[in-house]
Amino acid sequence: MVKAIQIGLGHWGFDWSKEVIPKVPSIEMVGYVDSNPEATERVKSELGVPDKLLFTNLEEAVKSSEAELAICTLRTEAHYPVAKRCLELGLSVLVEKPFASTIAQAKELVQLAKAQGRVLMVSQNYRFQPAPIAATELIGAQKFGPVNLVSIDFRRHAPSQGYRYWDMPDPLLADMSIHHFDLMRMVLNDNAKQVSCRTWNPPASPFGHHPIGVATLEFEKGTIVSYRGSWMSSGPVTPWAGEWTMDCSEGQIFWTSRDHFMGKAGPDRLSLQPRDGEASPVELQKLEFSDRQGTLATIARVIETGAVPARFSSGEDNLHSLALVQATILSASRGGDWVELAEILQ
Ligand SMILES: NC(=O)c1ccc[n+]([C@@H]2O[C@H](COP(=O)([O-])OP(=O)(O)OC[C@H]3O[C@@H](n4cnc5c(N)ncnc54)[C@H](O)[C@@H]3O)[C@@H](O)[C@H]2O)c1
């Protein structure tokens, strides 16, 4: 069992407390922290957490428990200071995406975790889903030979689905596309070399920043990914991981994942279509711990055994996904000019 505290009990954080943490048996909760007492009160009244486990101060929570792990489910701007303090206090850290606001902050946290001998993981929950796992295996085994082109579409209409972050800078690239970028790296088993991106805010949009973007990404092994993401789409909604067409020399792999929308949760889907043949669905494996339960069970296992399981998104690994966010934002600010990932990671 890994003793853990959770910091950040807001909208998404409370969902972790209620729906995720209790379903991972290797975690024993020893504290819940939020600077806002209303948030800790909610954990008490709705989940029955006793007073002695509720804190408005991180130091006190760590002092009065024997926590080994901090589950940081705060807004992005609080990730760096809170994760840093947790590492300094000797805890391992699981932090929500996006890892940090800048690459410099993220690098500092990676170094600090190393110096402290602690585990630092970013909760890239989309990695722990059946379709991207199957796609990773199929691409790795060259099921249809080398990849010609990867096309990804993400479409949502934020105004009609209770979206709350109208003033968030880069609501697409930093908050949403980070999942897609991280999945590209996982499924292709490769890192990006350079990107070109344009973003914009369409007329009548309630967003303060750009909710639509189009990017071309070139990976180290030469694969080109064409990516289109939109929070202001009137088209059919895609699952959260987007719709992926991986066109290879002998056929296409099509997949989607995290089909949760308006209270419905559909299964992941993956189909194979040989060139000039029919598409046929592939039966996908069920995971013991999927999505956020997957990231939490994984860090618990790393802490307990020291083994590094598949899909472990360490802070160090995640620098490359965060760099894709920064590179696409920089390219968009330069009107779509190519940006080398090396420029961002240096
Ligand atoms: N992985 C996913 O699929 C997914 C989906 C939604 C949100 N998220 C991520 O979840 C994170 C949290 O989002 P949210 O909507 O819950 O935010 P939120 O604003 O609703 O909640 C943040 C909470 O943190 C508390 N807080 C802030 N600073 C603090 C500090 N220093 N110490 C203690 N508490 C502090 C606030 O009081 C608040 O209760 C974000 O990083 C977001 O990107 C991930």
Could you read off the pLDDT of 250-263 as tens digits, one per residue? 999 999 999 987 77
Residue showing tokens 């990404």: 217
pTM of the model: 0.96
Q: Do residue 136 and residue 28 come from a single domain?
A: no
Q: How far, in Å, from the CA of 13 to the mean position of ligand 1? A: 6
* pLDDT band, very low/low/confident/very high, at 319 (cuts 50, 70, 90): very high
Name the residue of 6, 11, 12 to mutate for ligand 1: max ligand atoms within 8 A of Cβ. Answer: 12
Residue 147 to residue 101: CA distance in whole angstroms: 33
Q: How many other C-beta atoms can be found within 10 angstroms of the C-beta atom of residue 170?
A: 21
Single residue among 123, 141, 164 that ends a domain in this structure: 123
Mean pLDDT value across residues 157-167: 91
Q: How far, in Å, from the CA of 319 to the mean position of ligand 1? A: 20
Residue pair 320/178 in contact by the 8 Å Cβ criterion:
no
Mean pLDDT value across residues 60-84: 96
Range of the domain at 328: 127-287+323-340
How confident is the model at residue 261, as a pLDDT?
76
Mean pLDDT value across residues 310-317: 95
Q: How far, in Å, from the CA of 148 to the mean position of ligand 1? A: 39
Name the residue of 55, 75, 176 to mutate for ligand 1: max ligand atoms within 8 A of Cβ. Answer: 75
Note whether residue 313 is domain-resident: no
The tens digit of pLDDT for each residue in 99-113 reads: 999 999 999 999 999
Give the helix, strand, coil percentages of the chain, each rounded to 5: 35, 25, 35
The tens digit of pLDDT for each residue in 181-223 reads: 999 999 999 999 999 999 999 998 999 999 999 999 999 999 9
- 43 CB under 6 A from ligand 1? no
Q: How far, in Å, from the CA of 80 to the mean position of ligand 1? A: 12
How confident is the model at residue 206, as a pLDDT?
97
Q: How far, in Å, from the CA of 173 to the mean position of ligand 1? A: 18
Residue pair 208/128 in contact by the 8 Å Cβ criterion:
no
Note whether residue 195 is domain-resident: yes
Note whether residue 81 is domain-resident: yes
**Which atom of ligand 1 lies nearest, measured to the CA of 13?**
16
Residue pair 240/126 in contact by the 8 Å Cβ criterion:
yes
Residue 212 to residue 36: CA distance in whole angstroms: 33
Q: Do residue 157 and residue 269 come from a single domain?
A: yes
